[in-house]
Structure formats: C-alpha cells, structure tokens
Amino acid sequence: MCRAKTDATLAAYAFGITWARAFVDGNKRTGFVAAVTFLRLSPENLCPYLKKGVRMMEDLASSAMAEESFAS
C-alpha cells in the first residue's frame, strides 16, 4: 500500500470520527484510537508517538490543523 494513500485514509478516519460529534464526550479519544488502530493494522505497521498524536488530535478537533496537514 502506498504511504500517501495510507496517510490520507488515516487522516480521513481521524477527521471524520473527531468531527462527527457522535458522542457527548470522547470524540477526540475515539478518533485517536481509530487512527492508532488503523496504523497498527496497516501493512506498513507504523508506530505513532503518543504525545505527538494527542497534540495532533487536539489541533484537529480545535480546527488548528486541517485534514490535509494531518495527513502529512
């Protein structure tokens, strides 16, 4: 699987889950867990850095980061 496609898919999942506001609480956490799970199941088996991932999810949820930036 191409790295760019993996990044874009991961960003789409994280963005969609975080912004869906499907839950009263825990949308950022759910988006983050989905992103980490996607990475662990991907053929590339990437390992995200926890603190950086948390900061990125907070930025994504607060509109400080765009979906395209999250993908890169």
Output the DSSP codes for 12-59. HHHHHHHHH--SSS-HHHHHHHHHHHHHHHSTT-----HHHHHHHHHH
CB 29 within 8 A of CB 38: no
Q: What is the mean pLDDT of residues 43-54?
A: 65
Residues 60, 11: Cα–Cα separation, whole Å = 10
Among candidates 9, 3, 8, 55, which has minimal Cα distance to 32?
A: 55
- For the entire predicted model, the pTM comes to 0.58
Q: Dump pLDDT digits (tens) for 7-24.
A: 888 888 899 999 998 888
